[in-house]
Structure formats: C-alpha cells, structure tokens
Amino acid sequence: MAINCTWLQPVFRSPILKLVFPVHTRGLYVSNTQSSGDCKRPTRQQQGAGGIEKELMSLDCKVAIVTGGATGIGFSATCHLLKAGARHVIINGPDKEEGESAVEQLEERYGENKVTFVRGDVNNCSHFEGLFEMAKNAYGGVDIVFNNAGILNDKMWEIQVDTNIKGVIRGTLLAFKHMGKDNCGKGGVVINSASIVGLQTLAGAPIYSATKYGVIGSILNFGHKFHYERTGIRVCGICPGVTDTELISGAYGKQLTPEWNKEATRELSQLPKQSPDFLGQGLVYIVRYAPSGSVWIVEDSKILRVHIPELKQISKLVTKFD
C-alpha cells in the first residue's frame, strides 16, 4: 500500500563499550511468522541474548513507524520487524518509486497489508504527524518508532541539521504526544539513529558528526527516567558503523572542500564495512531488550552497549580559581 501525502575483540577497545553478542547470532527473535494481514501470533519464539537480558517488549502484533524505510538501513529494519512478528510497518520517504518498490518487495516476502508507504518529509511536521494519526486510525496506535531518516551532506549543512537533529527530535516529541501514557497512550519504544561518528570524530564531515553527537544527547535526555516514568516510552539509540548504503557510497563530493572530501573518504575507509542486514537484527534486539536511555553500536556484525561515564569519572582538576 502506498500513500502519497564479549566474544571477538571489538573494533573499539574502550572502557565505555561492552560487547553483547555478534548480531548474526541466530535465534535472536521469531523466525517463522504467519504472513496474513491480520495479527497472528508467531509460530515459534526463541530465547534471545543467551537469557542474559530481560525482554521488555515482544514484537508480536506490534505497529511500527520507520522513517526513511524504503532503502538501506530503514528497509532492513522493516524486514526484521516484520520477520520478528510485527503486525504492520508504516514507512516514509521522499521518493514515490522507491517507496512503492519497497512495499512490493516486503509484501512479497511477508504477506499483503503488512506495509504502508507514505511519501513525505520528516522536516514537515504535519506530514510526520500524519503517520501517527494513520496508525491510530487503522491499527489503534503505534508501538515502535525508528527515527532513521538522515543525510550525509555537509555542503547542505542546514538541511542536514534539520533532518538529522530536528527530524529526530520532532519524531520523539510526536511519539510522546501520541504514544505517551500521560496522553492516554500505551507507551512503547523510540529508537533514534545516531552513528559511531557521534562517539568519535569524522574530521572530513564535521557537521554531520556534530549532528550525530546531538542525537546521542537527545537519547540520553529523552531516555531519562523523568520522561520514561511519565510516558512509558523507552528512548534508545542505535549507532551504525560504516554500512553499505547510498548514504556512505554517495558521500564523496558532498563535503565542504576537496580536502575535506578526501579526509572523510580516508577516515571512513579505515572502518569495517557491514551489510544493512546487521542493523535490522540489531534494531530488533534494541526493541526487545534495551533499557531507556541506552545507546548501542552495531558495527562489524557485532552489537555493543555504550556506557556513558559520569562527568566526575572523565574530568580531572587542573587548577582552582580564587
């Protein structure tokens, strides 16, 4: 339907990271679901994460919104949400042909009436809010929001800031409005897409990196217990490593100077590249197990939890002023 409106050595050896498991581990989630447009229970469910984590949400019969869901990481996320038992996923994006193609592929795999594409822009508040209203009217509401849409283009840095930061904040606030228990909603989970370069530098694309640092800040603050206890919505973050998508392959030539282009290319080429499929698997893990305010890296087929230290743990007194 389309509508036009600690295992292997981790890459980062840092005290703020903890390897959970390789995301290609099987048995992470439901692997055999009914493909009807109606909500059906999965036929089999396996234990995830070796029984270490407490499951906070089952994917059974859940309704999700995935921004930028027609291609790349968003498409993979939609695949794995449906594979894990989701009832319906609403995806959006600016390109009608890409959206219709995505719906055709997804419904061929998972059955009819499982996906809706809505052409729109996360920078348009009314378009974005329309996704929540559609879900409420058709399915009774939304359970999962993946704020995935983003661009890597420092030449168009103002649009990049609008999309990468304001789009994520807008999606989170809309989730609070439409899903929050304090607004007669049932709660749920919001996953905001940051990046590994929101935890380290990408000097050749400094504005892009800065937007992802901003997303990390949004996760830590919106995911705080002050908001969770009021809304019943977990806000978590996923930080993709270098992933084989158009965002990465099309990045050259989009930085502010030729020298910056070369530096961004050099930096990205030194990091391991992975398939978008691993991000879909990682997303499902986060939906099921991640506590509110937590941040997760998916890189080189592994998922790692980021432990943000307290300020006093990372600061050292230099001098004291009179």
**d(Cα 116, Cα 137) in Å, to the nearest integer?**
13
Give yes or no for a contact between 295 and 236, defined as CB atoms under 8 angstroms apart.
Answer: yes
**d(Cα 17, Cα 10) in Å, to the nearest integer?**
9
Q: What angle do CA 116, 235, 202 make, to 5 degrees?
A: 90
Tally the C-alpha atoms within 13 A of residue 263's C-alpha that lie toward its C-beta.
12
**d(Cα 148, Cα 193) in Å, to the nearest integer?**
5
Residue in the block written with tokens 């998972």: 110
* Element (DSSP H or E) covering residue 273: strand 273-274
**d(Cα 29, Cα 123) in Å, to the nearest integer?**
33
**Catalytic annotation, pick one of 29, 110, 208, 285:** 208
Give yes or no for a contact between 115 and 107, defined as CB atoms under 8 angstroms apart.
Answer: yes
The amino acid present at 299, given as its one-letter code, is E
Residue 170 vs residues 19, 91, 149: alpha-carbon distances, Å:
31, 16, 12
The amino acid present at 233, given as its one-letter code, is I
β-partners of residue 22 are 302
Q: What angle do CA 131, 136, 139 make, to 5 degrees?
A: 110
- Is 208 labeled as catalytic in the residue annotation? yes
Q: Which of 226, 216, 160 has its CA nearest to residue 191?
A: 216
C-alpha radius of gyration, the chain, whole number? 19
The set of catalytic residues is 208
